[in-house]
Structure 1
Amino acid sequence: MEPHVRCDQLTSNLDMRHDSDPKLVECFRFVTNALKAKEFYRRDVQYIVRNGKALIINELTGRVEPKRRWSDGIHQAVEAKEGLKIQADSVIVAQITYQSLFKLYPKLSGMTGTAKTEVEKEFLKMFKMPVIEVPTNLPNIRVDLPIQAFATLRGKWQYVREEVESMFQLGRPVLVGTTSVESSEYLSDLLKSRNIPHNVLNARPKYAAREAEIIAQAGRKHAITISTNMAGRGTDIILGGNPKMLAKEIVEDNVLPFLSHDTPDVETEGESTSHKGLSKIKLGPSSLALLAKAAIMAKYVHKSESNEWSFQKAKSAVMESIEMSNTIGLEKLQERVAEVTEMYPLCDAIALAYATVLKDCEIHCFDEGAEVKTLGGLHVIGTSLHESRRIDNQLRGRAGRQGDPGSTRFMVSLQDEMFRKFNLDTEWAVRLISRITDGEDIAIESNAVVKQLLGLQINAEKYYFGIRKNLVEFDEVLEVQRKHIYSLRQVILSGDSESCSEQIFQYMQAVVDEIILGNVDPQKPPKTWDLAKLLDELASLGGNLLTETFKETQEEDLQSSLEQILRYGSVEVDNFVLPNMPVPPNSFRGIRKRTSSAMRWFAMCVDDTSKKGRYTNIVNLLRKYFGDFLIATYLEVLQESRHHDAYIRGIEREALLKTLDMLWKDHLVNMNKLSSAVNVRSFGHRNPLEEYKIDGCRFFISMLSATRRLTVEALLRYWSSPMESEEIFNTADQ
């Protein structure tokens, strides 16, 4: 069936005339996400598929991030595209930007080797942190060769292959940096076609699990390493190799086959690193003898054990032995072994073998490192300019560490992803290159072309800085709300029982105030107020609790009561009760209860947010009466329940937290939708940020109001029907 026919069938029951139709909006979201997943999210670039799951690749570090998922249905669209099981959409329960998170710390500092770029201004503007350059320990003698440009991708990759081959024949170690899993494996296939041994380090598990081993030998003679972005790898490439890592590999290769017959899982243990083309490490007679002894001990332990050792268990035992060797040292190990006769523990045998092999590896790596230095050190090849010069510098910085010699070269194509993304005038560059050469694999080092490419990279950095700046400005709105919510949660969690009760009382008074102020106008006389609706809304708050109380109260009763107050002119506020209206149960007994009532009355009198008028005092008395009545009814229900105070406080805390967390979660979703939609208002010559602030504030006020209302309803109904209270939460959650 043709795709457009299938789409027509799916949308045939939708009303296309009304763009507010929820089904149409949902369908539009699905179609948009499907198009994004198809065109913008590429396998082995933005994500990989492993064990039936789509896993995100961090484009800055080249690492898989298994716990991350794209939001707004994008991840589900990618799963549908790959034919995977579609997981539930991720729910945001809390969020914070890195910038806002860092600002929470009283002191902030950092260390990096790439801050002296365009990002220096960003550090100062965002975090008020100047960048101070620390002199290098040893002079930098690395040679950064000019950028070479190619007209086509094919020409670039052919030249990269030739450059790697020439360096391999010379004996220099080479590190090739790529921007994606796809490009690293493409280059790997090119090198295989020329029988050039190499190792690949990218987000695929069979390579990522062996990251330390691959990096350990990346500085050895004839070593060729293809890696995705090197940011965050955190391991120096030592010329001549890393003796500790090489010694560990030798011990594992000699012991693990005898300790476990399991085949290692490539997904978790990684694919074995390639040693082809590398010089063989010469082990002395003592090392060979101790390795043989450790292998015999491993074989003996394997046969004597009733249960078969798994590969993971065997590897853990070897790692523990190596850690012990690093802690104790060779001399103490020899003393421990000398105290035992023929057979000594497997752990000691492996540790002693490792310590002896390490000595041989150190000698070999030192000699080979000196030889590599005479050849020119590590040669780094960058196959594309990144969207930030910092990442390019991180790749360059792998060569020439601690005063070592080295060289770097960037080879770029006009068809690279970054140039296509930021609309480089490739026709101009291609015409310029075609005037110089006809071959697509001929490198061009023209200053005009290179200047154009570097200028585009600077524009890309400015573009992403603008995105981050815009994100921070939008998050400042949410940060104020976040601080308020988190401080409120902290009061609920850490406050004593009295503070928790006072919070409930304030919620009840606020709910009553909203109902009253929504039905009365202090600038108009009481006879114009909608008192019937007011009584109905108040009675509906507590289910049967208040309905029974006000079932015989009519609008006329409340009207005459208010007129009577107007005739009297003055009332006693402390024990105020509306004439001819029900008296609050038990009134307010105890100094704390009376103090709470007085504080709420004072807050009403000084409230500048509510509407003022000739009848403001009458409105405030109405607020006080119904607020006190609701709280007194609640306290009476608590007394009748005969529950312990600890149990009651627990229920109150649960209601407060559950409603707050639930509605805050919904608020975050609404704010994310608002931030995505508000940019459209710029077409109407409105400032999107200002519009976001206005609507975000309105959303937040509405969320707090809903939190108070739902909490009060849940608590009032809980004592009469716990199941009914639970239904309130479930309905609001849906």
Structure 2
Amino acid sequence: MLGLGTLAKKVFGTPNDRKIKATRPLIDRINALEDEFAKLDDDGLKARTEELRKRALEGESLDDLIPEAFANVREGAKRALGLRAFDVQLMGGVFLHQGNIAEMKTGEGKTLVATFPAYLNALTGKGVHIVTVNEYLAKRDAEWMGKVYAALGMTTGVIWSGMPEEEKRAAYGCDITYATNNELGFDYLRDNMKSELSQLFQKHHNFAIVDEVDSILIDEARTPLIISGPSQDRSDLYVTINAIIPLLKPEHYELDEKTRNVTFTDEGNEFLEEQLKARDLLEPEHTLYDPESTTVVHHVNQGLRAHILFTKDKDYIVRDGEVVLIDEFTGRMMPGRRLSDGLHQAIEAKEGATIQPENVTLASVTFQNYFRLYDKLAGMTGTATTEAEEFGEIYGLGVVEVPTNKPIARDDQDDQVYRTVAEKYAAMIAEIKKANEKGQPVLAGTTSIEKSEQLSQLLTKEGIKHNVLNARQHDKEAQIVAEAGRLGAVTIATNMAGRGTDIQLGGNVEMQVLAALAEDPEADPVELRKREEAKHAEEKQKVIEAGGLYVMASERHESRRIDNQLRGRSGRQGDPGRTVFYLSLEDDLMRIFGSQRLDKVLTSLGMKEGEAIIHPWVNKSLERAQAKVEGRNFDMRKNVLKFDDVMNDQRKVVFSQRREIMAAEDLSEIVGDMRRQVIDDLVDQFMPPKTYADQWDAEGFYAAVIENLGADLPIIDWLAEEGVDDDVVRERLVKETDELMAKKAVEFGPETMRNIEKQILLQTIDAKWREHLLTLEHLRSVVGFRGYAQRDPLNEYKNESFQLFESMLDSLRETVTQQLSRVRPLTEEEQKQMLAQMAAQPAAAQPAEEPAAEQPAAEPAREPALAEAGGDAPAAQGFVEDDPTTWGNPGRNEKCPCGSGKKFKHCHGRLA
């Protein structure tokens, strides 16, 4: 008997079916235009682009332009790449343009699909960003698909880490820009540390298409992007604490594998106190619970996590004395990425690697909040349905399953569960051997480097030739994956998510042609290609006869998506294939989620060694366990995001304010308002409302005016006058300080004064924002304890962070006003003294400027461009080294014209 839901779906179709059906008329209209566009010459395609661009800029909706735009791209791709997009690829392009996630199986040509909505949305002139998981794919796709865009008269750029700033700016200025999620996020943060609009990289956040969207928007969204600068070196502390951790016994801590959390027991705390006091890390009169012990306790906790939760060759590898993290979802190394809060340093101490100093946060953003900046967002992946709820709730993205071009012919078998790991591996080796003998290519998936090397040793013992793909063979990735579909190939891979290179049966023909050309450079390329294609077709047929690609996994991942991605490597474009998961009761997922009960049942049933349990019920119960883990991870990410949303509102205010300041020509009104606010605060502080004259603090007021406003005024006399009140004093202060600043503007010259105001404002905002971030980090780390007092930590965080933000703005006004009141040109006497010092000290003997500590971020805001005495007076005819009036306006970072060898900002351009 059919359930009501199943019956309704049979009659009305699923929501996904209805979406697919709704695009059919649009696909028919695109197909109807194919002959018309095929008749155009190459210039005709580019002319069509200009016509469509003109219509888009005149206000015609992009939805109305879909048929012509897509037909133009299909024709451009046919000519540039020899690829004609299938109807399902056009369909995927439509869903992406509508701001959805298109779930398309591996090998369905997602890279080409992205060109359709990218071209259409780039017609508005605001640029489109196509986001990839690594730089290799960004460069490959930009070069490959760039030919299509070029054929249509559009420009393509690619962003990678470490590229020169001018090149990067040009790449962002292209119609379509390929980049990794990390570089886009970091460039956004860097933009908000710049001091001039012309230096910005990202002018618009118009439309982003995210490839491997589940990997980027979910897996990587657990950790925020942070730009940091170095703090003090504390390597001795890490080394000392690292010596204590191995002395701990199992009863000293509790490990919760489900939540990946480890904490000290009461017994452990007592043991720690003794050890820390013996090493002088804890004062004899203090305990671990005293406020003074917070820092040491924090580092001991990180040391424990480093030893218990982080495993070498699974979570990280040590390469050239450096601890490099491994992405748990792709198995790739992540050079440059570091764990925060001293955890990375604790792992370095554990492995005896060089301990890098801790960093302080200069700017940070989560991927969730970065990608929500875009006016429109879309994504592509082979596996998104299991996370549809999160995509909808966090990003407002729908998930649409796009049908495959050819029906899937892959045989997905039920999981095989063995009692022990040894039995499981023995069964896998026997199966690999059987497949290998008939020439069937095998892809064996593992969850860690350690397990892939274990499997590799067993295969070597059996004399089976194979390739291993993990973080250690990162540089050979494309080559190994391209060969994985060849006759008799055996490949062991750690996490196949987002590899970007298809496994084609018979091998990758393009790679084979390139290899043959490298061997015989004199050969005729056309003849050589024909020969290689014929060899490939023959080998592909043999592989098909052997059963296609056989994917076998040695374990279930905690995320169903990662398992589905591994399965999806087999059976591309209707090819035959087979997949099976080999599990044991000793696997992490099975062990954590109650395999002991199952073990007892199997033992009582008399299950023999080497036998497997194979039943659809086992698959279902495992899927339920995985769904639980996914749900918990979603809750954790949602919680992190709730707290970051509070900071994000403040971040948006600060960053938009910075941009307004950079764009403004004249900031005198803003700094004037700030000065008046400071005056109001001073008057309220020293002449409180509803008080008598004898209660006013005249001397304190006098000192505060000199300190904050840089003005030596007769405050004490004013306050002693008969009938004077707070309004009178306020008006006098405003008048005097306005005159003072107007006089300064004349001394410097109006243009230079405007520049000084801008640079001081930007510098102060940056400094205050960095301090504010640090305070919020500390607040975030302790606010959780408020839950014990029955108070909601999130509400507490919202309230206190808002108060801290208000305090930051007050402090900003005071600092800007103080700095502007103190700035002055150098006097003629000071210039002469400085020149005399320079003459007495040869340029060669000048100390070199300290290089800034390397950080992934940032050009700091430039210092105020101060002019010498005489302000903007025109330079005298001819340059004279000893005469600053002949130097014109040197750049702040250029060498000083006096010949000292120093930068101008550290010499004659310094703040007096």
The TM-score normalised by the length of structure 1 is 0.72
1:513 aligns with 2:781: no
1:16–1:24 Cα contact (<8 Å) kept = no
- Mapping for residues 26-65 of structure 1, pairs under 5 Å: 26-65=295-334
Quote the residue 2:536 is aligned against: 365
Distance 1:663 1:158, change over 3 A: farther
1:61–1:233 Cα contact (<8 Å) kept = yes
Give, in angstroms, the shift of residue 354 of structure 1: 5.1
Inter-partner Cα distance in structure 2 for 1:121 and 1:447 = 26
3-state SS of 2:399 partner = coil
Give, in angstroms, the shift of residue 214 of structure 1: 0.7
Can you list the C-alpha shifts for 1:530-570, whole angstroms capped at 9, x where unaligned?
4443333222225xx42x334xx42xx44444x6146xxxx
2:626 maps to which of 441, 444, 457: 457
Give, in angstroms, the shift of residue 428 of structure 1: 0.8
Give, in angstroms, the shift of residue 520 of structure 1: 4.6
Letter paired with 1:130: G
3-state SS of 1:376 partner = coil
2:392–2:398 Cα contact (<8 Å) kept = yes
Distance 1:81 1:18, change over 3 A: closer
1:216–1:246 Cα contact (<8 Å) kept = no
Inter-partner Cα distance in structure 1 for 2:782 and 2:420 = 39
3-state SS of 1:459 partner = helix
- Mapping for residues 351-362 of structure 1, pairs under 5 Å: 352=523, 355-362=526-533
Can you list the C-alpha shifts for 1:214-233, whole angstroms capped at 9, x where unaligned?
11111111111111111111
3-state SS of 1:182 partner = helix
Distance 1:721 1:714, change over 3 A: farther
1:635 aligns with 2:804: no
Letter paired with 2:673: Q
1:223 maps to which of 489, 492, 498: 489
Quote the residue 1:232 is aligned against: 498
Give, in angstroms, the shift of residue 115 of structure 1: 1.8
Letter paired with 2:390: E
Letter paired with 1:482: R
Quote the residue 1:411 is aligned against: 582
Quote the residue 2:821 is aligned against: 716
Quote the residue 1:284 is aligned against: none
Give, in angstroms, the shift of residue 632 of structure 1: 3.0
1:171–1:372 Cα contact (<8 Å) kept = yes
Distance 1:455 1:38, change over 3 A: same
3-state SS of 1:109 partner = strand
Quote the residue 2:783 is aligned against: 678
Inter-partner Cα distance in structure 1 for 2:320 and 2:773 = 32
Distance 1:522 1:20, change over 3 A: farther
1:216–1:242 Cα contact (<8 Å) kept = yes
Distance 1:468 1:193, change over 3 A: same
Inter-partner Cα distance in structure 2 for 1:523 and 1:113 = 70
Larger radius of gyration: 1
Give, in angstroms, the shift of residue 400 of structure 1: 0.7
1:549 maps to which of 688, 699, 713: 713
Give, in angstroms, the shift of residue 22 of structure 1: 7.4
3-state SS of 1:111 partner = strand
Inter-partner Cα distance in structure 1 for 2:488 and 2:378 = 40
Inter-partner Cα distance in structure 2 for 1:377 and 1:541 = 78
1:214 maps to which of 466, 480, 484: 480
Distance 1:473 1:362, change over 3 A: same
- Mapping for residues 488-567 of structure 1, pairs under 5 Å: 488-496=657-665, 498=666, 500-542=667-709, 545-546=710-711, 548-550=712-714, 553-554=715-716, 557-561=717-721, 564-565=723-724
1:200 aligns with 2:468: yes
Quote the residue 2:357 is aligned against: 88
Inter-partner Cα distance in structure 1 for 2:291 and 2:821 = 34
Q: For structure 2, list consecutive stretches of 5 or more residues without a partner in the other structure.
A: 1-239, 248-273, 831-862, 865-905, 907-912
Quote the residue 2:402 is aligned against: 134
Inter-partner Cα distance in structure 1 for 2:622 and 2:285 = 46
Quote the residue 1:687 is aligned against: 792
Structure 1 range deviating more: 147-156 or 225-234? 147-156
Distance 1:67 1:711, change over 3 A: same
1:154–1:440 Cα contact (<8 Å) kept = no
- Mapping for residues 588-603 of structure 1, pairs under 5 Å: none
Inter-partner Cα distance in structure 2 for 1:706 and 1:418 = 52
2:414–2:616 Cα contact (<8 Å) kept = no
Give, in angstroms, the shift of residue 503 of structure 1: 2.0
Quote the residue 2:572 is aligned against: 401
Quote the residue 2:656 is aligned against: 487
Can you list the C-alpha shifts for 1:637-690, whole angstroms capped at 9, x where unaligned?
343xx2233322222222111121122122222223322322222122111111
1:383–1:410 Cα contact (<8 Å) kept = yes
3-state SS of 1:227 partner = strand
Inter-partner Cα distance in structure 2 for 1:376 and 1:30 = 55
Letter paired with 1:508: R
Inter-partner Cα distance in structure 2 for 1:631 and 1:533 = 22
Distance 1:515 1:210, change over 3 A: same
3-state SS of 1:95 partner = strand
Say how many residue pairs are matched. Answer: 563
Letter paired with 2:680: D
Quote the residue 1:432 is aligned against: 601
Letter paired with 1:209: D
1:477–1:693 Cα contact (<8 Å) kept = yes
3-state SS of 2:365 partner = coil
1:429–1:449 Cα contact (<8 Å) kept = no
1:15–1:24 Cα contact (<8 Å) kept = no
1:178–1:382 Cα contact (<8 Å) kept = yes
Give, in angstroms, the shift of residue 191 of structure 1: 0.9
Q: Using the aligned pairs only, state the percent identity.
A: 36
Quote the residue 1:700 is aligned against: 805
3-state SS of 1:665 partner = helix
Quote the residue 2:733 is aligned against: 626
Inter-partner Cα distance in structure 2 for 1:474 and 1:189 = 47
2:416–2:613 Cα contact (<8 Å) kept = yes
1:166 aligns with 2:444: no
2:678–2:813 Cα contact (<8 Å) kept = yes
Letter paired with 1:126: I
1:388 aligns with 2:559: yes
Quote the residue 1:187 is aligned against: 455
Give, in angstroms, the shift of residue 16 of structure 1: 5.2
2:410–2:577 Cα contact (<8 Å) kept = yes
Letter paired with 1:514: D
Give, in angstroms, the shift of residue 493 of structure 1: 1.1
3-state SS of 2:486 partner = coil
Quote the residue 1:317 is aligned against: none
2:718–2:729 Cα contact (<8 Å) kept = no
Distance 1:656 1:194, change over 3 A: same
3-state SS of 1:132 partner = strand
Distance 1:231 1:627, change over 3 A: farther
3-state SS of 2:650 partner = helix
1:14–1:23 Cα contact (<8 Å) kept = no
Distance 1:480 1:538, change over 3 A: same
Inter-partner Cα distance in structure 2 for 1:626 and 1:366 = 88
Structure 1 range deviating more: 527-536 or 242-251? 527-536
Inter-partner Cα distance in structure 2 for 1:410 and 1:513 = 72
Give, in angstroms, the shift of residue 624 of structure 1: 4.4
Q: For structure 1, list consecutive stretches of 5 or more residues without a partner in the other structure.
A: 255-290, 295-348, 567-617
Give, in angstroms, the shift of residue 439 of structure 1: 4.4
Distance 1:233 1:715, change over 3 A: same
Structure 1 range deviating more: 470-479 or 708-717? 708-717
Inter-partner Cα distance in structure 2 for 1:73 and 1:677 = 17
Quote the residue 1:599 is aligned against: none
Letter paired with 1:410: F
The TM-score normalised by the length of structure 2 is 0.58
Give, in angstroms, the shift of residue 35 of structure 1: 1.5
Higher strand share: 2
Inter-partner Cα distance in structure 2 for 1:450 and 1:16 = 57
